[in-house]
Amino acid sequence: MAATVPPRPDTGTEATPSSARGGVSPCLQQEEPPEAAGSCWRDGTTTEASTPAPPLEPPAPPLGLRQGRLRRLVRAARRDSLRSMLAAASGLALAASFPPYDLWPLSLAAVAVLALLTWHRTVRQAAWTGFAFAFPFFVWLLQWLHVVGWDAVVGLSVIEAVFFVPLGAGLAVTSRLPGRPLWGACLWVAEELIRDRVPFGGFPWGRLAFANTGSPFTALAALGGAPLVTFALALTAGLLATAALCAVRLRGAVRARDAVGTAVSLVLAAAVVAVGSAVPTATKADGSVQVAIVQGNVDRPGMHFLGRPMEILGNHVQATVQLAREVKSGRVPRPDVVIWPENSSDLDPFSYPQAYTAISQAVQAIGVPVLIGALVDGPDADHVQNEGIVWSPTAGPGAEYTKQHPVPFGEYVPFRKELTKVISRLNEIPLDFYPGKHNGVLQLGPARIGDVICFEVAYDQIVRDTVNAGARAIVVQTNNATYGRTGQPEQQLAMYRLRAVEHGRAVVSAATSGISAVVAPDGTVKQQSEEFTREVLSARIPLRDSTTVADRLGALPEWTLAMVGVLSCAAAIGLGPRRRTEDKG
């Protein structure tokens, strides 16, 4: 049995809490009773081994000692509360770095503060800090979901914040290793890799790269996609955090090690920024095409934007017919192709003859192929399909693309039978969207385009597959009427900008109610519409055949960086016992 630890005497001065050193205070260790066999009593007699000694009540700690413990607990609680508040404030700052605010330098500051708050913390403290950082971040970032219900905002924010629990813990564990900014940046990539894929196919909103579509890091997307942008930003933030730590230690006395650490960290951070700024963007065109983007508008925003049957379709038909008149009068250049948004036909044209006829009349009026958006019947009575359909003025409907990644709880209900019993609101989604099985490469008149529908633009592989399959430009058909004037359309526009740079392609977006846009291959927004207006954008966009390094490498940089992050955690955990053994020796 271990020796009894006697209580510390009350010296009248406070000892430094050992929790600050990562250990357990001896004051909190429970005293063990003396051995029953052969133990000495205060009167000098000795008990026999066969006679059990009566249990001894541990003496009550002195009053001063109890007050000291209480003060230490209060200080620890205050420190944890302060850390949580700083983490929450940093999470809100990160949200402000995203559209519609676009204060991208705040993403650097927020990630750096999280690195400082988790530095040399315990795993439990850092895990909670990660959650305290992420939850307010997602609540603010996803506040546009309040049109569905604030319970949806809170619920999704909790789910997304859970992924930051292992991130925070990993940052703390690897903060004990040399080169911690590198390992921390890799852990950010690992967190996004997992969150982008699970559950139900993942939810990539809130990736650091999407806050940096106009920053010095943006061009790195052409080399390694969104993951490399995230890595570069997190690495720079980690280096700035390290410089801050070294600078704080310099306040007392100048030490060569801390002075060098500050200087080296700042130089390396500047080098990462310089490298990002120096990466060239692909802009040389191999051809061009004149496009017209029709934004027909909806009559009401929110959940019930569809209104009366044929209402949205009628808006787009009228806008297209008006475009044909302006082309005929010479006020607008004749387009080679026309793009309609997602759900621009609110009735299945193959089931409703009046919808088929209206579309055909509009396409024949403009006289060029039109890419329309429609919900059509699925393979069975329980499903529909969200499609982009090429409609020819002579041959009618032709090639089509079916959305591959329906939105869970928006376009289909997982575990429908069970969940609709407890969440009646889910019954407002009467049919599940059936996922498509092939990429969105379509021949639209003279242009071979890659069609992506709505939220699919957030998923790396879906967009990359269209480019690698031969798309010379990217088209995003979207319907953001539900989330109009909430900041969500601006967040999606930022994704278009990143994809343009990543793949060296022009991106054309057609939205029912806005924001429709034309984005150049360098990420510059050439044109964009206002929300909830009827507009037609006309532009000549470049067509490109060559691919970027990011296209050719695919997901390799992402998986490599993520694995480095995981292995760094394993190395730090493995070195822990060895260091403790060396300390004891």
Specify whether 543 is located in the same domain as 418: yes
Label residues 486-495 b or e (16+ Cβ within 10 Å = b).
bbbbbbbbbb
- Whole-angstrom distance, CA of residue 421 vs CA of residue 411: 18
Beta-bridge partners for 293: 339, 537
Beta-bridge partners for 389: 372, 400
By the 8 A CB rule, do 151 and 142 touch? no
Query: pLDDT over 90 for what percent of the chain?
Result: 76
Specify whether 315 is located in the same domain as 449: yes
- pLDDT at position 14 is 39
CATH of the domain at 529: 3.60.110.10
Tell me the residue type at 447: A
pLDDT higher than threshold 90 for residue 290: yes
- 174-188, 295-309, 354-368, 404-418 — which is least confidently predicted? 295-309
Q: Does residue 23 fall inside a structural domain?
A: no
Contacts of 83 (CB under 8 A, 6+ apart): 117, 125, 129, 132
- pLDDT at position 65 is 61
Smallest CA-to-CA distance from 194 within 206, 185, 184, 202 is with 202
pLDDT bracket for residue 261 (50, 70, 90):
confident
Q: Does residue 556 fall inside a structural domain?
A: no
Q: What is the helix (H) or strand (E) element at residue 57, kind and residue range?
A: none
- pLDDT at position 276 is 97
Number of structural domains the chain divides into: 3
Average pLDDT in the chain: 88
- Pairing between strand 287-295 and 337-339? parallel
Specify whether 271 is located in the same domain as 344: no
- Whole-angstrom distance, CA of residue 349 vs CA of residue 236: 52
The pLDDT tens digits of the residues spanning 396-443 come to 999 999 999 999 998 999 999 898 888 888 888 889 999 999 999 999
The pLDDT tens digits of the residues spanning 479-524 come to 999 999 999 999 999 999 999 999 999 999 999 999 999 999 999 9
Q: Does residue 480 fall inside a structural domain?
A: yes
Residues with catalytic function: 342, 403, 454
Q: Does residue 562 fall inside a structural domain?
A: no
Contacts of 11 (CB under 8 A, 6+ apart): none
pLDDT higher than threshold 90 for residue 26: no
User: How far are the Cα atoms of 170, 183, 251, 572, 573 from residue 567, in angstroms, in the given order?
Assistant: 11, 9, 35, 9, 10
Specify whether 579 is located in the same domain as 437: no
Smallest CA-to-CA distance from 456 within 414, 404, 491, 499 is with 404
Specify whether 253 is located in the same domain as 347: no
The pLDDT tens digits of the residues spanning 35-78 come to 333 333 334 344 444 455 555 566 656 666 666 666 766 665 67
Specify whether 152 is located in the same domain as 297: no
Specify whether 446 is located in the same domain as 316: yes
The pLDDT tens digits of the residues spanning 127-178 come to 999 999 999 999 999 999 999 899 999 999 999 999 999 999 999 999 999 9
Specify whether 405 is located in the same domain as 273: no
Contacts of 555 (CB under 8 A, 6+ apart): 225, 460, 461
DSSP state of 281: P
Specify whether 367 is located in the same domain as 457: yes
- pLDDT at position 209 is 99
* pTM of structure: 0.85
Q: Does residue 17 fall inside a structural domain?
A: no
Specify whether 80 is located in the same domain as 52: no
Q: Does residue 574 fall inside a structural domain?
A: yes
Contacts of 198 (CB under 8 A, 6+ apart): none
Specify whether 276 is located in the same domain as 410: no
pLDDT higher than threshold 70 for residue 19: no
- 190-199, 373-382, 425-434 — which is least confidently predicted? 425-434
pLDDT higher than threshold 60 for residue 7: no
The boundaries of the domain holding residue 42 are 31-57
Specify whether 275 is located in the same domain as 293: no
